[in-house]
Structure 1
Amino acid sequence: MRRRWPYLIGKPLLMPALAARHVMGTDEPSRAVLTADALSWVGDIALMGSGRRWFLTGVGSFFGAHLAYIATYRDRSSMPLLGTRGRRRFLGGAAALAGGMALAARRQDPTLAAPVAAYGLTLAVMVASAAAVDDGRGRDLLLPGAGLFLVSDALIGVQQFVAGEDSRALEAAVLGTYAVAQALITEGLTRTR
């Protein structure tokens, strides 16, 4: 797909701008948040490339970013991750979807199945961790942000492994949900401790 200039300029600038927002918006910037921002930025750049190596670099970078988000969310939670039936059901369903996406990825390239499955599970744990954040510690922004991240990545999976075609509308939906997701997460982690 031939990408338009707003994508080529906007996507690489998103995470540095959000990292700057975090640094300027808090007296004690979080090392984990800045790590997640940096890894997300590397992932953004990698996913602008084409081919297996670029894709796996992007998946690996976002995998690391989600681990940093999970650690940050768990620090803001006083309840067990699997402490509610809803979170347990969500993780079960998300695991099934990650498995389905891994099977779809395997049809395209067998070496992608395990990384896609591991990434999907980590993304699901990140969303469940956001749901477990205590009231007053950013959950009102973190959970919608994490949920939109899941939507954005599901759209990428559909585009890459199911639809198999480039679509400007789908690309706009991916970028829009991703940008809003990252902005909500940054704001939730900046405004509250």
Structure 2
Amino acid sequence: MALVPSRTTSRRLRSAYVAVAALDTLLAGTAGRRAHRARTVTKPLLMPVLAASLATDPRATGSPLRTTTLAAQAGGWGGDVLLLGAAPERFMAGAGSFALGHAAYIGGFRSRRGAPRWPAPAALGLLWGLTAPPLALAAARQDRRLGATIAAYSAVLTSMAATSTQVGPSVGAAARRRTMAGAGLFLLSDAIIGLRELWLTDPPQRLESAVMLTYAAAQLLLAEGAALAGDGTG
């Protein structure tokens, strides 16, 4: 059944997303099997609810970022589900799904690229060059496949953040601000994961809450940026 654009429906779905994200963030920082079992419900709900909110948002009807953002959310959903497991194979598959989502974001941002206004791509490239190799090497000590996965995934993620800073004025200032903020929070979320998995020997469980809080906020801001890109006042 097709989703009919409705501002009220979109707002309710967005509120539902915020509520589910808050619950999942709380559960993520809670140790124990019950919390993990509950997350097999809450975490896979995140992207479908957010996607439905964007799909029913009348502001996004003519947005040049709507289709690519929905595709990116589908990639995020796959990653969310796969990363509920702890096996290396699931991690690599989840990273691949997220990378496909970032590629969709990149495609949307590049289609609206304007004249370069920010030095961010060079700065982010330098940041990747300084941080990705040590992370990849640390992961490779655990499993050689993980090193290559992290190097490739971090390159795609960094590219997504870099291209978000080059979106032109055709989508409006408010849309650009939310898009860049969302991409930045995505980088922060994955940086926390790298810190937790590869550098801390006994990371506190609450660190997972920080991962989910920044991730959920990133996806919400990216979706809001896509919606505003189709709004004449954005």
TM-score by length of 2: 0.75
Distance 1:97 1:75 in 2: 29
Alignment match, 1:119: 153
Measure the CA separation in 1 of the matches of 2:78 and 2:201.
24
Match of 1:104 among 113, 116, 138: 138
Q: Please give the per-residue CA displacement for 1:94-144, whole angstroms capped at 9, x wherever unaligned.
A: 232121211111122111111110111111110111111124162110111
Is structure 2 residue 44 aligned with structure 1 residue 44? no
1:172 and 1:192 mapped to 2: Cα distance? 30
1:144 touches 1:184 (CA, 8 Å); kept in 2?
yes
Tell whether the 8 Å contact from 2:118 to 2:165 is kept in structure 1 after alignment: no
1:10-159 superposed matches below 5 A: 10-25=42-57, 26-28=60-62, 30-79=66-115, 84-135=118-169, 136=172, 138-159=175-196
Task: Describe the SS at the equivalent of 2:56.
Answer: helix
Q: CA deviation at 1:174?
A: 0.3
Give distance in 1, aligned partners of 2:202 and 2:75: 27
Structure 2, unaligned runs of 5 or more = 1-30
Query: Runs in 1 of length 4+ with deviation above 6 angstroms?
Result: none
Contact 1:87/1:128, CA 8 A, preserved across alignment: yes
CA-CA distance at 1:168 after TM superposition? 2.0
Distance 1:97 1:115 in 2: 15
When the two chains are superposed, the root-mean-square deviation of aligned CA atoms in Å is: 1.9
Return closer, same or farther for 1:6/1:181 CA change in 2, 3 Å cut-off: farther
Instruction: Specify whether residues 8 and 164 from structure 1 end up closer, same or farther in structure 2 by C-alpha distance, changes over 3 A only.
Output: farther
Structure 2 counterpart SS, 1:77: coil
Structure 1 unmatched runs, 5+: none
Give the letter aligned to residue 54 of structure 1. Answer: R
Deviation at 1:50, TM superposition (A): 1.3
Range moving further from structure 2, 128-137 or 117-126? 128-137
Amino acid at match of 1:125: S
Give the 5 Å matches for 1:158-173.
158-173=195-210
Residues 114 and 167 in structure 2, CA contact (< 8 A), matched pair in contact too: yes
- CA displacement 1:123-175 (0-9 Å, x = unmatched): 11101111111241621101110010011111111112221445321010001
Match of 1:187, SS state, is helix
Match of 2:217 among 146, 158, 180: 180
State the alpha-carbon separation in 2 of the partners of residues 84 and 166 from structure 1: 35
The count of corresponding residues between Structure 1 and Structure 2 is 191
Q: C-alpha separation between the residues in 2 aligned to 1:151 and 1:36?
A: 18
TM-score (norm 1): 0.90
